[in-house]
Structure 1
Amino acid sequence: MCAMVLVADDDPRHAEGIRRYLVADGHETTVVHDGRAALDAARQGRPDLLILDVMMPGMDGLEVCRTLRRESDVLVLMLTARSTERDLLLGLELGADDYLTKPFSPRELVARTRTLLRRASRGVPEATAGSSRQIGRISVDRVGHQVTVDGEPIECTRGEFAILAAMSEQPDRVFTRAQLLHHTRGLDRSSTERTIDVHVMNLRRKVEADPRRPEQLLTVHGVGYKLTLGPTS
């Protein structure tokens, strides 16, 4: 699958290494070295995927992601240092689709790129009578990629929507974190179950009346999470 990929990394040698591997995999690849240039290039070039380093001069990767998510649905693969878990979690909250922690192998980067592009290429499924699911106060429309709570639409990232969509198909089923990782991006050895915890935490802020006392998106300790109808009275 050939795609247009934008690489934003302030280390020229590192960025060039990424570019060479992506080109060898058949992708048209552009490189920039600061956040402002990344934002401008993403707006003008409309890439299929943005590989975005967190630490960059002028405008960091988190700010670039935050800005783009207000105006674009471009895939974002974020690069972050192992010591900056806070940046990683914030990046997911801002709408990054996946992340890699440094150091990583170029082959892993290419594999992760393929996974993201393959998932995106599946597109929106054909409309069917059963495309929408109502679970208590929460409605999930898989075709329209829309979530509503008490009839009010809420904004979800790709990862958040994937989790709700999977769980809405089987209410009251307990999903392990590994199973939910599979639904969000496919199983990757370096993905962490912490990613799912962050998505669930963010979802509770959006769908629960009191995120500290969830009534529908519940934790099953030692196992994972489940989506229930909630209180019936």
Structure 2
Amino acid sequence: MIELVKRILIIEDDQSIAVLERDYLEIAGFQADIAIDGMDGLDKVRSQTFQLILLDLMLPKIDGFELCKMIREETNVPILMVTAKTDDIDKVRGLGLGADDYIVKPFSPNELVARVKSHLAMYDRLIQSNETNGDIYKKNLHINTLSRQVFIKDKEVEFTNKEFDLLAFLALHPNQVFSKEQLFEKIWGLDSMGDNATVTVHIKRIRKKIENDTANPQYILTVWGTGYRFQG
């Protein structure tokens, strides 16, 4: 099975700081992308998949506080606010808007990497806990990963094993975009016979079972040119 590299989004208008953060994160084994202002950051969050976001407060176009609130409406991934401000009121405000932690400039790159690893580990444990608990609820959809049952408006819908595996995997990773290649390798395995069209066929079958309108799906969305994501 493939192991996905953790992707970090750095939203920072100071190019030298952004590059330094990116370099240290990449040395630590992460993939890091840079957004130079609030609007650029929001566009990247909505079009790509990240496992953690480093968010500066003092940004052009959309400031960090407003952007934090908007990002939190899009995804539950950890947000680590980075700022030169030291006032407690800013910390309280940032955390109240959905940030997970707060790091004040100047900071050591090693501290930054350590904080990033810590929050990624906590988020992974949360995902695993949700999987262990078994129940996933989204609007009229209820998935129980322990009993391997799917319900729409409390009515059970029959799924094949691979249909269930694919739906459950996407639902357990909400708002993350996966390519057909990644989904095929994750669900069918590297040694399986077949091709990526298998994923497309299964997505179509799943949509017929859970969507009111397959032309305008509300659960599994197509990200054109990239793959699919589950609307969290």
TM range (shorter): 0.5 to 0.7
1:95 maps to 98
TM-aligned CA deviation for residue 84 of structure 1: 3.5
Residue-pair matches, total: 128
In structure 2, how many angstroms separate the alpha carbons of the residues matched to 1:2 and 1:115?
A: 16
CA RMSD of aligned residues (A): 1.6
1:127 maps to 133
Q: How does 1:1-233 map to 2 (within 5 A)?
A: 2-122=5-125, 123-125=127-129, 126-127=132-133
Whichever of the two has the greater Rg, that structure is: 2
Q: TM-score under structure 2 normalisation?
A: 0.53
- Deviation digits for residues 140-166 of structure 1, max 9, x if unmatched? xxxxxxxxxxxxxxxxxxxxxxxxxxx
| Seq. identity, % | 39
TM-aligned CA deviation for residue 82 of structure 1: 3.9
Counterpart contact for 2:86–2:104, Cα < 8 Å: no
Structure 1 residues 58 and 25 mapped into 2: Cα distance closer, same or farther (>3 Å)? same
TM-aligned CA deviation for residue 2 of structure 1: 3.5
In structure 2, how many angstroms separate the alpha carbons of the residues matched to 1:74 and 1:106?
A: 21
Counterpart contact for 1:80–1:88, Cα < 8 Å: no
In structure 2, how many angstroms separate the alpha carbons of the residues matched to 1:79 and 1:34?
A: 14
- Deviation digits for residues 81-117 of structure 1, max 9, x if unmatched? 2433322211100010111011110100000000001
In structure 2, how many angstroms separate the alpha carbons of the residues matched to 1:32 and 1:71?
A: 17
Counterpart contact for 1:80–1:87, Cα < 8 Å: no
- Deviation digits for residues 175-195 of structure 1, max 9, x if unmatched? xxxxxxxxxxxxxxxxxxxxx
Q: SS of the residue aligned with 2:26?
A: helix
TM-aligned CA deviation for residue 80 of structure 1: 1.9
1:159 maps to none
